[in-house]
Amino acid sequence: MPTRSEQFAGVSTAIITPFRNGQVDIETLQQQVQFQIDAGVTCVCPVGTTGESPTLSHAEHERVIAAAVEAAAGRIKVMPGTGSNSTEEALRLTRWAAKRGADAALVVGPYYNKPTQEGFYQHYKALAEAVDIPICIYNIPGRTGKNIEPETIIRLAELPNITMVKEATGSMDQASQILANTDLTVLSGDDSLTLPLLAIGGRGVISVVANIVPQDMIAMIAAFEAGNIEEARRWHYKLFPLCRDMLGLATNPIPIKAAMKLLGRDTGELRMPLVPLAANEEAKLRKTLSTYGLL
């Protein structure tokens, strides 16, 4: 049975925000969008967790969205992060993204202030009623401090504009409950859980590792879709050490930025309070990249 936002099935890349001397590097950002287009991804997701949205000013946040939409030029979809722990702020950003040509909005659960389940419901309802573009609920309790319970997501699915979930709880039970009771398009928020999620009805991934190996992520999903489970599993095991290091060596996006620097694709610059990998962590990452065949 087709899900609600099948046009977002496959690989979406949670792209980094490149910095140079403390400033957002728009030229490199647009080159990275082009890199994703050439690889054949479905969508890019700027200004999410990987895009260091917490340390961007509002003006920078908007500039990155506009630059990504411009670089994509309708050739792939753009689903920027427009969430906030303030409903008013999330409304403003989501409206702005819709007006600037974004194809959907990736909206993280309000963080830090820990709303009740009714609060989550009212937050997303306000956004869904304010814009015409599809909304993807981004549920990442490890970052936000609170889970959006499956019952709340099932209730939100009654709103036609809520069409997707970026599932980053790490719980297959939660994902199964959502998939069994809604026609929402569920996308993996953890690279290493993409294949298990596909097996229960997930439709793709919003991927960190696709910043460097988008074709391999695409190949894994294509193999699964073609019914070639053995090949999909082979890709899963090949990608696994890379996926593990990107989220395990340090907080995302520290490792992916380090990897892109090692591969000559970015300065590797981060915004404080994020700091670069320690020497021993970088050595581990270098080894993983070499073993993978990237270095």
pLDDT digit string (tens) for the chain, length 295 residues: 899 999 999 999 999 999 999 999 999 999 999 999 999 999 999 999 999 999 999 999 999 999 999 999 999 999 999 999 999 999 999 999 999 999 999 999 999 999 999 999 999 999 999 999 999 999 999 999 999 999 999 999 999 999 999 999 999 999 999 999 999 999 999 999 999 999 999 999 999 999 999 999 999 999 999 999 999 999 999 999 999 999 999 999 999 999 999 999 999 999 999 999 999 999 999 999 999 999 9
Closest CA to 30 of 82, 1, 72, 81: 72
Neighbours of 177 (CB within 10 A): 16
Please return the burial class of 294, using the count of CB atoms within 10 Å of its CB with bins 0-12, 13-18 and 19+. middle
Q: What is the pLDDT of residue 190?
A: 97
Look-up of token digits 């917490």: 54
b/e map 113-143, b = 16+ CB within 10 Å:
eebeeebbbebbbebbeebebbbbbbbbbeb
Domain ranges of the chain: 7-229
**Rg of the chain's alpha carbons, rounded to an integer?**
18
Q: How far apart are CA 177 and CA 181, in angstroms?
A: 6
Q: What is the pLDDT of residue 40?
A: 98
Beta strands in the chain (DSSP E): 10-13, 19-20, 23-24, 43-44, 77-78, 105-108, 135-139, 162-167, 185-188, 204-207
Which token pair is 62? 């908007």
Q: What is the pLDDT of residue 1?
A: 80
Which token pair is 201? 């009805």
> pTM (2 decimals)?
0.98
Q: What is the pLDDT of residue 127?
A: 98
Q: Determine the Cα angle at 82 with ends 80 and 211, to 5°.
A: 35
Q: Maximum CA pair distance of the chain?
A: 49
Positions marked active-site = 138, 166
Q: Domain 7-229 in CATH: superfamily?
A: Aldolase class I (3.20.20.70)
Total residues belonging to the chain: 295
